[in-house]
Amino acid sequence: MVATDAETRVARRLNVQRLMAVMGVLVVGLGALCLYAVSQGQRWTLKPEEPGERMISQVRAQMGRGAEVRYAAPGAGPVMCGYAGYRGQPGAIAFISRPNRILFETDPLPGEFAAMKAADCPELPEALPPIRD
């Protein structure tokens, strides 16, 4: 038995109507889930990274896994300042860590680094303090 053109259209229309009904239920369910998530407030937010943890992850991201923070001091607000170097090597580079950015004294923006240092880290020593035994 061969389906006629009219029977094919009716079957197709039923499939489209069934698909529309399923999609409508999914949209309503997703809307309800979003409304629930919004009504929960702080419970659904990620915990912000602590300034010290953020500073270490930024230094390692920019300098590589062999980098280490050798001196750290809090700056103004969420800013961290300090010196970083490579394990087993002398010398250190000054840096200023902000929530979305880290700036090193060796970056090609010395004026911006100096301005940030004066505004956010005025007590950062000019050189890495000596290590006390």
- 113 and 57 in one domain? yes
Domain co-membership, 12 together with 60? no
Give the number of other CB atoms < 10 A from CB of residue 129: 11
- Residue-level pLDDT at 44: 57
Considering its fold, how many domains does the chain have in total? Answer: 2
For the stretch 30-79, pLDDT in tens is 999 888 877 776 555 567 788 889 999 999 999 998 899 999 999 988 99
User: Does the pTM of the predicted model rise above 0.85?
Assistant: no
Q: Tell me the average pLDDT across 68-95.
A: 90
In order, the DSSP letters of 18-52 are: HHHHHHHHHHHHHHHHHHHHHHTGGGGSPPPPPHH
Residue 130 lies in a domain: no
Among residues 75, 81, 17, 33, the alpha carbon closest in space to that of 55 is found at 81
Provide DSSP, 75-114: -STT-EEEEEEETT----EEEEEETTEEEETTSS-HHHHH
Q: Are residues 37 and 95 in the same domain?
A: no
